[in-house]
Amino acid sequence: MFKTISKLILSGAIILFSSGTLYAADGIGFAQAEEGTWYCLGDNPETALNCARKKCQQEAGGQGCYRTRWCFGYGWSGLMTINLSETHSTEIICGAPSSSALFSAFTAYCKENEYARNCSIFLTIDPEGREQEVHDSNISGPAQN
């Protein structure tokens, strides 16, 4: 009986390790500086956020780099610039179940931000970690006038 249980446990462990589930990046961490946003995929917040901050520190030309967002089960993620009357900001949404849900979330975020003049989605990241630049995604905000 003990040998049968041991074999079952060993078989289950082999299946888990070979399927890649223990090594999959389940989350995404973002870091931002004044002029950019960086991200890393990872299996825990500290690893992904520190990786993103390190990329930021290497590429941001001495600007302060801040860990800004962690999403577990990152799904579809993306970045959008929000143009305000005198400045701009970059917003991150992650964990969307589909590309269309991500775009809908960004659209709602822009249209409900009373200070937004317009917004532009400029990058999406799919559940496999592949980036895609977005063009012609201008969204009018309430403060457009």
Query: 126: how many CB neighbours lie within 10 A of its CB?
Result: 16
User: Could you tell me which residue, 18 or 95, shows the higher pLDDT?
Assistant: 95
pLDDT tens-digit series, residues 115-145: 999 999 999 999 999 999 999 999 999 998 6
pTM value is 0.78
pLDDT at 24: 54
**Tokens at 143, concatenated:** 């403060």
Measured distance CA(90)–CA(43) in Å, rounded = 24
pLDDT tens-digit series, residues 55-107: 999 999 999 999 999 999 889 999 999 999 999 999 999 999 999 999 999 99
User: Distance from CA of residue 134 to its chain's centroid?
Assistant: 15
Q: Are strands 76-83 and 88-96 parallel, antiparallel or unpaired?
A: antiparallel
Spatial contact of 27 and 51, defined as CB atoms under 8 Å apart: no
User: Could you tell me which residue, 132 or 35, shows the higher pLDDT?
Assistant: 132
